[in-house]
Amino acid sequence: MTPPSPTPTPALPAPADARRTHRRTAGGAAAAVLAALLLAAPGAPALAAAPAPASADAHDAAHAHESSDAHEQAVRASMEGPDVDAPGADVLAPAALAAAPVPRPVRSYSGSPEALAKYVAQVSCDPVERPGTVAFRDLLDRTYGANAGGITRNCNSGVTEHSDGRAYDWMLDANRAADAEKAATMIQWLVGPDAQGVTAGNARRLGVMYIIWDRKIWGSYNGVWKAYNGSSPHRDHVHFSLSWDGAMGRTSFWTGATLQGHDYGPCRLYAGEPVPKYSGRNTSPCPTPGTRPAVAPVSPITAKWGALGGESGVLGRATTAEQSTPAPREGRYRHFAGGSLYDSPTTEASLVRGTIRDHWAGMGFERSPLGFPTTDEARTPDGKGAYSHFQGGSVYSTAATGAHDVRGGIRDRWAAMGWERSVLGYPTSDETRTPDGRGAYSHFQGGSIYATDATGSHDVRGAIRSRWASLGWERGALGYPTSDVLKTSTGLVSHFQGGSIRWVTATRTTVVELD
User: How far apart, in whole angstroms, are the C-alpha atoms of residue 321 and residue 314?
Assistant: 18
Instruction: Give the per-residue pLDDT at 65.
Output: 45
SS3 104: coil
Q: How far does CA 53 lie from the centroid of its chain?
A: 44
Per-residue DSSP letter, 43: T
Q: Which residues pair with 376 in a beta bridge?
A: none
Q: What share of the chain is helix, strand, coil (3-state, %, to 5)?
A: 25, 20, 55
Instruction: Count the Cβ atoms, other than its own, within 10 Å of residue 427.
Output: 29
User: How far apart, in whole angstroms, are the C-alpha atoms of residue 461 and residue 458?
Assistant: 10
Enumerate the domain spans of the chain: 25-255, 298-374
Phi first, then psi: give them for residue 206, nearest 5 degrees: -95, -10
Alpha helices by DSSP H, 397-461: 408-417
Phi first, then psi: give them for residue 319, nearest 5 degrees: -110, -10
Per-residue DSSP letter, 303: H
Residues 492 and 502: beta-carbon distance below 8 Å? yes
Instruction: Give the per-residue pLDDT at 7.
Output: 45
Instruction: Give the per-residue pLDDT at 460.
Output: 98
Instruction: Give the per-residue pLDDT at 383.
Output: 95
Instruction: Give the per-residue pLDDT at 109.
Output: 87
Of 196, 199, 223, 201, give the one whose Cα is nearest residue 211. Answer: 223
End-to-end CA distance of the chain: 96
pLDDT along the chain (515 residues), means of 10: 46 47 33 29 30 46 53 72 68 61 89 94 94 97 94 85 96 94 94 93 97 94 89 93 98 96 95 92 95 90 96 97 94 98 97 98 97 98 97 98 98 98 98 96 98 98 98 97 97 98 97 95
Buried residues in 281-309 as b, exposed as e (16+ CB within 10 A): bbeeebeeeeeeeeeeeeebbbebbeebe
User: How far apart, in whole angstroms, are the C-alpha atoms of residue 59 and residue 285?
Assistant: 34
Instruction: Give the per-residue pLDDT at 110.
Output: 82
User: How far apart, in whole angstroms, are the C-alpha atoms of residue 179 and residue 50?
Assistant: 8
Of 95, 87, 91, 106, give the one whose Cα is nearest residue 182. Answer: 91
Phi first, then psi: give them for residue 144, nearest 5 degrees: -120, 0
Per DSSP bridges, beta strands 238-242 and 323-324 are unpaired
Phi first, then psi: give them for residue 196, nearest 5 degrees: -95, 5
Q: Specify the pTM.
A: 0.55
